[in-house]
Amino acid sequence: MQFQYENSFDIKKKIDNSKIAILPVGAVEAHGPHLPLGTDNLLAERLAEKLAKRVNGLVLPTLPYGQVWSLRNFPGSINITNDSIISFLVDIGESLYHQGFTTFAMVNGHLGNGTALKEAARVLYETCPDMRVFYFFYPGMNKAASEVRETKTAHNTYFHACEIETSYMLYLVPEYTDMEKAITDIPDIPAHADVTPTSWEEFTDSAVLGDAKLATEEKGKYIVDIALDNMVKLINDSLGRV
């Protein structure tokens, strides 16, 4: 259920029945020629909807901007600082707590937001002691992706606009995925990218980190459904639901 389409007279009861707020968090960022700038927003939204159905949650409007420092110089990227994201999320979380929610699940579609979401969750841990805050980024996807991928990963933590993320799009947002434009562009990510600030234009022109042509809906479904199951289980476990 989309929170913002409800009215104020009915929402109190619905909050009481659910108590679970789900916030998609994404980004506006270059994703190659075949995926839109809003890829991470769209993925987060669709995934949040699936999660909401499974756990009886309410889906909040998407926070559609994120921290894209590494790709900030690519056409179309809009970069938000961690501090701004943290403050904004803390405000949202504290309002949700005030409104009676006991679970606040952030469904993150963009790896670069990870730091901000974790920090915000720790702040809320202190200020909203009775609310559980989750920061989900496809939990369990690493193992699942390793099972289906045909090419090896370009980096041990990053993945971007590649076989994997494009597969997510084919499964969740096919209408904005243009496989005819998909490319293969396997960069040679320098070792220093992990230990010193490194803008991605240093090693890629396309922002694609791999072989997007190998993406399939099936791969996407396989990984995303595992991540979804994991999110469902994590929420249910935290609530003592069987």
Least Å distance, CB 82 to a second copy, is: 7
Q: Which two tokens stand for residue 75?
A: 């056409």
Q: How many residues does the chain have?
A: 242
Contacts of residue 54, defined as CB under 8 A and 6 or more positions apart, other chains included, come to 228, 232
Residue 4: CB atoms within 10 A of its CB come to: 8
Q: Which is nearer to a second copy, 81 or 218 (CB)?
A: 81
Indicate the residue type of 225: D
Using the structure block, give the residue that is written with the tokens 């005819």: 180
Q: How far apart are CB 139 and a second copy at their closest, in Å?
A: 6
Closer to a second copy by Cβ: residue 54 or 233: 233
The first and second tokens of residue 110, run together, are 């963009």
Identity of the residue, 21 or 214, whose beta carbon is nearer to a second copy in the bound complex: 21
Please say whether the beta carbons of 161 and 37 come within 8 A.
no
Query: Which residue's CB is nearer to a second copy, number 34 or number 219?
Result: 34
Quote the least distance from Cβ 220 to a second copy, whole Å: 19
CB of 222 to a second copy, least distance (A): 19
Could you tell me the smallest distance in angstroms from the CB atom of residue 143 to a second copy?
A: 10
Going by the DSSP 8-state scheme, the letter that residue 204 receives in this structure is -
Query: Which CB, 144 or 207, lies closer to a second copy?
Result: 207
| Of 93, 108, 99, the residue nearest 18 (C-alpha) | 99
